[in-house]
Amino acid sequence: MQKTFYIFLLFLLLLGGCTEESRNKIFKQADNLLGKDLRVSYVADSGAIVKSWTVRDGKVTTHKDEQGGTSGYYYFWSVESGYVQVPIVRSIVEEIKL
């Protein structure tokens, strides 16, 4: 128990010495490694959900251009239909518990 406490304390001290950008990179790498179950929904102008996809143990990505701006589309691999590309402005991404 005491050994676990010291390891946790050391982790907190190391994390406290990192910049916010470094911490964000560390947590993003952990998310990439672990993956999440997600639901991506395409929404119509009226606000109604047109279609939804399930992403198991994966992630939803987007492409960045030379200036660092997003391409305007999400890309992911769904359980239902394989590779999917949807516009960011009409999409909802939510974490689900399966």
Burial class (CB in 10 A: 0-12, 13-18, 19+), 74: buried
Predicted pLDDT at 13: 63
Burial class (CB in 10 A: 0-12, 13-18, 19+), 41: middle
Helix (H) or strand (E) holding 21: helix 20-34
Range of 69's domain?
36-98
Predicted pLDDT at 86: 94
Same domain for 30 and 40, yes or no, is no
Same domain for 53 and 71, yes or no, is yes
Same domain for 52 and 75, yes or no, is yes
- The total of other beta-carbon atoms located within 10 Å of residue 35's CB is 12
Predicted pLDDT at 33: 47
Residue-level pLDDT, tens digit, the chain, 98 residues: 787 877 777 676 666 667 777 767 766 666 554 568 899 999 999 999 999 999 998 888 888 778 877 778 999 999 999 999 999 999 999 988 86
* pTM of the model as a whole: 0.61
